[in-house]
Chains A and B, each alone.
Chain A
Amino acid sequence: GAVVSQHPSWVICKSGTSVKIECRSLDFQATTMFWYRQFPKQSLMLMATSNEGSKATYEQGVEKDKFLINHASLTLSTLTVTSAHPEDSSFYICSARDAGTAYSEQYFGPGTRLTVT
């Protein structure tokens, strides 16, 4: 089946530094990937849609200069949290849509827990 990986699985960083999270589709091509944020005991909140070879589309209220997204290949999207602050601490999840199917279903990564101290 379709597998999506994320790296790292968890990261601790100091306030003011930047952190990069990678999302890879391992056995399929993904022209579109998605980045979500999940707070404890809450649902997934879509942050942005990452399109291969073009700019990401951000949801309302998400700062594009703070959450930089790059989707340079059909199997890799990266999310960089710039100048991280403690309020950015969260669980970040990516998903990918198989470009070879007509369905809208997404395959999810295991998530990255970010803690900003």
Chain B
Amino acid sequence: AQRVTQPEKLLSVFKGAPVELKCNYSYSGSPELFWYVQYSRQRLQLLLRHISRESIKGFTADLNKGETSFHLKKPFAQEEDSAMYYCALSEKGAQKLVFGQGTRLTINP
């Protein structure tokens, strides 16, 4: 069965510090991995998908199949990065997403 684990429920860092939100998954096939973000009082929105290998708002995430991880990183955190972050997995070609429990990131001034 597919499973996504975000070990940190809460993460607090200072502005300008590096940030890493951890995500590990268990899936035997070829997964598609995503990071979704939910800012205060807003809907869930896509931040990154691994197949695009893009950087959005300074965030990057690399799929490490050996470690079955898809950690989200940003070198210099900004206050506006404070939000709830969800890692999600989809079986390649399938439709539904499996979400991790989420990590609430707080950037302190």
Residues of A within 8 A of B (CB): 32, 34, 42-44, 46, 49, 93, 95, 97, 103-111
Contacts and interface: CB of A to CB of B under 8 A. Distances in A.
Nearest to A57: B96
Contacts of B32: 103-104
Given A109-B43, A111-B43, A104 B94 contact: yes
A43 B43 contact: no
B97 interface: yes
15 contacts: A42-B101, A44-B44, A46-B99, A95-B44, A97-B95, A103-B49, A104-B34, A104-B94, A104-B97, A105-B34, A105-B46, A105-B49, A108-B43, A108-B44, A110-B43
Interface of B: 32, 34, 36, 42-46, 49, 51, 86, 90, 92, 94-102
Contacts, number: 47
B10 to A, nearest CB: 11
Contacts of B92: 104
B96 A34 contact: yes
A108 B32 CA distance: 18
A32 to B, nearest CB: 5
Nearest to B44: A108
Contact of A44 (B34, B94, B99): B99
A110 B42 CA distance: 7
B45 A108 contact: yes
Contacts of B102: 43
Nearest to B95: A32
A105 B54 CA distance: 15
B96 A49 contact: yes
B100 A43 contact: yes
Nearest to A36: B99
Contact of A49 (B43, B95, B99): B95
Contacts of A107: 46
Contacts of B36: 108
Contact of A93 (B44, B96, B100, B101): B44
A89 to B, nearest CB: 20
Nearest to A51: B95
